[in-house]
Structure 1
């Protein structure tokens, strides 16, 4: 799987707190964002399917 780099903007306090808790578990920001984006995509696909079935 290929990866690409992207710059993102985060609220400083949110980032600091994330690092505080995620660091203890060995979670990287990029890994967490990737997982959350995949979850979002799956949810959106499910919503699209439901809308198609209901119309």
Structure 2
């Protein structure tokens, strides 16, 4: 898989807390962000599809 590097700004306290909790489960920040982006995209596509179907009815 090709990846693109990006810089993001996050609250340092929140990031520290994430690292503390995620490290116990072996979760990496970049992996978590990728999964959350995919979930968001899937949800938004479902909403778009629902709205299109509703318009056709």
TM-score by length of 1: 0.97
Q: Which runs of 5+ in 1 are unaligned?
A: none
Q: Which runs of 5+ in 2 are unaligned?
A: none
Divergent runs of 4+, >4 A: none
RMSD: 0.4
TM-score by length of 2: 0.94
Tell me how far apart the structure 2 counterparts of residues 53 and 25 of structure 1 sit (CA, whole Å).
Answer: 40
